[in-house]
Amino acid sequence: MSSEKTNQSWGGRFSEPVDAFVARFTASVDFDKRLYRHDILGSQAHARMLAEAGVLSSAERDAIVAGLDEIRGEIEAGTFEWRVDLEDVHMNIEARLTERLGVVGKKLHTGRSRNDQVATDIRLWLRDEIDAILAELNRLQAGLLQLAEAEADTIMPGFTHLQTAQPVTFGHHLLAWFEMLSRDHERLLDCRRRVNRMPLGSAALAGTTYPIQRQVTCELLGFEAIGGNSLDGVSDRDFAIEFCAAASLAMMHLSRFSEELVLWTSAQFQFIDLPDRFCTGSSIMPQKKNPDVPELVRGKTGRVFGALTGLLTLMKGQPLAYNKDNQEDKEPLFDAADTLRDSLRAFADMVPAIKPKREIMREAARRGFSTATDLADYLVRKGLPFRDCHEIVGHAVKYGVDSGKDLAEMSLDELRRFSDQIEQDVFAVLTLEGSVNARDHIGGTAPAQVRAAVQRGRELLAQR
């Protein structure tokens, strides 16, 4: 038998060490070491539970808990040596604990496997990540409410097909993003409930013969429930897939928002200005001010979509229970969480600093016959069928296109060429203010409704 040793946690069955390349290829410590805090937290809870179950003495428990605290200090001080030959964060920490405590350190792994240990670590880490993401999402929504309230009366064109449709207020438009982000918050909060289920105690796949007390560990780690099946506990990654799905939807919303910001800052729109600190210039064109933050968020959306697709593909062919494939779950999950959190942070910093160019927005709303529907509604109130009104207004718009006049710029005589039901009072309907104020219902663009929606939004944030 070779005198060389492989990983001491499992090397007893092997007659030769792992090939050096294979050791590097199969190791995950370079990326999973970011789980160290959660690995230590889970191990300390496991040690405390083993002591309550009579598997460890109180002295052994205390030594393990204290030793793990000291190891966390080493990691955070940058003095901890991460070894590729020990494969992952779990064995690196356990090996260091054994160095410090000897035989007592070797007892920590009693009644568990790396399979349920890593599943627990990822859930603990993702739970914290979701909380951090929700905090940034709340901050962004608060910024949207602040800006929407300030711009409740600012008129801009609303679009369909990127063509002028009807006038809206800038505050109303911003609140559309608030609604989307509210649904993202709901999805992430609901996802967190399923993340917060404890697999520890599943051991390798079948549970353990030791008298473990899973409820104790569950309470110590703040899980809401205990996983009901050991096979599922070690092999389930649908919580990570669900998170990436929720993250993908949130990034899709931010990407759409980004697209509008890019358009609005262009010379063709000039609806808003972004502060210089969120933009960059050009190395060759001195006049350029590029909206890099929204452009990057728009681009980074693809990374999160890729993480979702990658995890679905990773899991689709796996038999029960744990397989080494699952080592590939961490990097896309880490990247998706990092990308979403950073994108939300960038937007939360940027959105309250957006400067609308109100006069340009208003002038754009005056173009494109944005009050055409208001004229049709005016005629309906005169007793005409809507479809007839639609046709009448269509003829008026055609005349406006040919003559270069907006509906509000036509004289009463010109408008009456299309219907004798039109009277002097029509001009109140054709103004931009009249149009937006007329939509005075929940969800409408009237300034009063925008302010009411802002108040409801603030009450919602206060309840979280």
Domains in the chain, number: 3
Whether residue 323 is found in the same domain as residue 243: yes
pLDDT at 286: 78
Q: DSSP letters along 56-83, please?
A: S-HHHHHHHHHHHHHHHHHHHHT-----
Last residue in a domain, options 336, 362, 388: 362
Residues 158 and 90 in one domain: no
Give the integer Cα–Cα distance in Å for 257 and 271.
14
Considering 362, 394, 409, which residue would you say is the last residue of a domain?
A: 362
CA 54 to chain centre: 43
How open is the CA angle 422-425-429, to the nearest 5 degrees? 90
Clarify whether residues 212 and 307 are in a common domain: yes
Tell me how far apart the alpha carbons of residues 433 and 169 are, in angstroms, rounded to a whole number. 9
Helix (H/G/I), strand (E/B), else coil: 156: strand
Cα gap 272→360, rounded to integer Å:
9
φ/ψ of 351, rounded to 5, equals -60, -45
State whether 182 and 80 are in the same domain. Answer: no
Token pair of 395 as six digits: 């003829």
Distance CA 83, CA 86 (A): 6
User: What's the helix, strand, coil split of the chain in %, to 5?
Assistant: 65, 5, 30
Q: Which residues are catalytic?
A: 161, 282
> Residue 284: its pLDDT value, please?
86
Verify that 106 and 124 share a domain, yes or no. Answer: no
Which of 448, 436, 457, 370 has the alpha carbon at shortest distance from 175? 457
For residue 375, being part of any structural domain is answered with yes
DSSP 425-448: THHHHHSHHHHHHH--STT---HH
Q: Are 246 and 238 in contact (CB under 8 A)?
A: no
Is residue 6 a part of any domain in this protein? no
Judge whether 64 and 105 are in contact, CB under 8 Å: yes
Asked whether residue 73 is assigned to any structural domain, the reply reads yes
Question: How long a stretch of residues is the chain?
Answer: 464
Same domain, 158 and 278: yes
Q: Which residues are within 8 A (CB) of 323 and not within 5 positions of it... i.e. 6 or more apart?
A: 235
| Structural domain includes residue 305 | yes
Q: Answer yes or no: do 334 and 212 share one domain.
A: yes
Write out the residue range of the structural domain in which residue 103 sits: 18-110
- Is 419 strand, coil or helix? coil
- Residue 1 within any structural domain of the chain: no
* Rounded CA separation 299/278 (Å): 16
Q: Same structural domain for residues 411 and 323?
A: no
Reduced to 3 states, what is the DSSP secondary structure of residue 160? Answer: strand
The residue ranges of the chain whose pLDDT is under 70 are 1-15
Which tokens sit at 402? 């040919």
CATH number at residue 409: 1.10.40.30
What does 240-294 look like in DSSP terms, one character per residue? HHHHHHHHHHHHHHHHHHHHHHHHHHSTTT--EE--GGG-B--SS-TT--B-HHH
Please choose, from the candidates 364, 384, 343, the residue with its C-alpha nearest in 3D space to the C-alpha of residue 249: 343
Q: How many angstroms separate the first and last alpha carbons of the chain?
A: 62
Q: What is the CATH number of the domain that holds 44?
A: 1.10.275.10
For residues 441 and 403, membership in a common domain is answered with yes
Q: What is the sign of the dihedral through the CA atoms of 324, 326, 330 and 336?
A: positive
Residues 106 and 131 in one domain: no
Residue 417: closest CA among 437, 397, 436:
397
* 336 occurs within a structural domain: yes
Q: What CATH number does the domain containing 286 carry?
A: 1.20.200.10
Q: Is residue 12 part of a domain?
A: no
Amino acid at residue number 41:
L
Quick one: which H or E segment has residue 230? Answer: helix 230-235
As a whole number of angstroms, the distance between CA 402 and CA 165 comes to 19
- 159 with 206, same domain: the answer is yes
Choose one of 327, 362, 397: the last residue of a domain. Answer: 362
Pull the structure tokens for residue 32: 């999973």
In a domain, 7, yes or no: no
- Predicted pLDDT at 26: 82
Asked if 193 and 295 sit in the same domain, the reply is yes
